[in-house]
């Protein structure tokens, strides 16, 4: 397992946001963390990223317990819905930011930024500023920025929530292909079951801070283990036009 959450509990002012959460993700896998709003998805990502501390339980990354390791030492990249680009920096400078922080040489930064611009098919847009980009392009830049320092784990928290439905579908396919190509272990948070099923090869369903089921998209769809999972998948299907 590349990532393991072992019996994690977290409360906020007596409210249990994570209730004995355990799951593991193999290296190179793309897992979706799926659940309704308020179910505790962001809390899990924040603990993995070192932005919050669990009350109990162990967080393991690449075989090491990282509970006491600062977030910037964990080798994690993240793309959050509201993790805006730096407005006064060009696309290229946004992508190179993490490398600047690491004090890499100018030449090395330039080379890596060019490689990433090519990866996201934005070779000619390096000199633009964020306000000159579409929503989808901004999220592609956010993705490249997260990958630039070469993290071992990529966390994405509802990265397409603010983008309209059609572009969202395109981006979702794009993201799946990109992650497959880069081969990075990833956790993709969403409350949209269709998005989870399409993007991930492992789906982790969470409700009220508890893991309800972990399985492939097929297992979740055809063999829901709890009433909640069955209901959640059904309700979502109906709300999307009864497919
Ligand atoms: N810093 C915090 N202080 C108090 N309550 C919080 C805090 N962060 C999250 N919560 C609560 O924990 C629950 C889970 O939140 P969150 O992990 O953001 O859910 P999700 O991302 O699934 O929508 C929510 O009820 C939320 O109000
Ligand atoms: Mg959230």
**What pLDDT digit, counting tens, does each position of 74-130 carry?**
999 999 876 579 999 999 999 999 999 999 999 999 999 999 999 999 999 999 999
Question: Residue 113 is encoded by which pair of tokens?
Answer: 């930024």
139-155 confidence digits (pLDDT tens): 999 999 999 999 999 99
Query: Measured between alpha carbons, how far is residue 121 from residues 113, 126, 169, 181 in Å?
Result: 12, 11, 18, 14
Ligand 2: centre distance to CA 139 (Å): 17
User: In terms of domains, do 114 and 223 share one?
Assistant: no
Domain count, the chain: 2
Q: Ligand 1 site: residues with CB under 6 angstroms?
A: 12-13, 15, 17, 35, 37-43
Among 150, 185, 200, residue at a domain's last position = 150
Ligand 2: centre distance to CA 83 (Å): 13
| Max intra-chain CA distance, the chain | 56
Q: What is the DSSP letter of 149?
A: T
Q: Give which of 188, 140, 135 is closest to 165, Cα–Cα.
A: 135
Can you tell me the distance from the alpha carbon of 170 to that of 162, in angstroms, rounded to the nearest whole number? Answer: 14
Can you tell me the distance from the alpha carbon of 131 to that of 87, in angstroms, rounded to the nearest whole number? Answer: 7
Ion ligand 2 — residues with CB < 5 Å: 41-42
Which numbered atom of ligand 1 lies nearest the CA of 157?
Answer: 21
Can you tell me the distance from the alpha carbon of 2 to that of 34, in angstroms, rounded to the nearest whole number? Answer: 20
User: In terms of domains, do 107 and 222 share one?
Assistant: no
Among 127, 150, 173, residue at a domain's last position = 150
User: In terms of domains, do 175 and 219 share one?
Assistant: yes
């Amino acid at each position: 397992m590349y990532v393991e959450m072992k019996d994690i509990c977290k409360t906020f002012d007596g409210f249990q946001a994570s209730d004995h959460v355990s799951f593991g993700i193999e290296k190179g896998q793309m897992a979706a963390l799926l659940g309704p709003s308020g179910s505790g998805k962001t809390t899990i990502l924040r603990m993995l990223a070192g932005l919050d501390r669990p009350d109990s339980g162990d967080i393991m990354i690449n075989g090491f317990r990282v509970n006491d390791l600062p977030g910037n030492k964990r080798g994690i990249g993240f793309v959050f819905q509201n993790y805006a680009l730096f407005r006064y920096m060009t696309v290229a400078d946004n992508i190179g930011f993490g490398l600047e922080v690491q004090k890499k040489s100018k030449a090395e930064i330039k080379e890596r930024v060019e490689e990433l611009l090519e990866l996201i098919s934005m070779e000619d847009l390096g000199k633009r500023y964020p306000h000159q980009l579409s929503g989808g392009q901004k999220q592609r830049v956010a993705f490249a920025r997260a990958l630039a320092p070469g993290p071992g784990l990529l966390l994405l928290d509802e990265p397409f929530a603010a983008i309209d439905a059609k572009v969202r579908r395109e981006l979702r396919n794009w993201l799946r292909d990109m992650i497959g190509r880069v081969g990075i272990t990833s956790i993709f948070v969403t409350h949209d079951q269709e998005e989870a099923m399409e993007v991930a090869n492992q789906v982790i369903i969470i409700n009220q801070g508890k893991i309800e089921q972990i399985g492939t998209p097929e297992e979740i769809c055809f063999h829901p283990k709890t009433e909640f999972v069955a209901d959640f998948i059904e309700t979502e299907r109906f709300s999307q036009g009864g497919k």
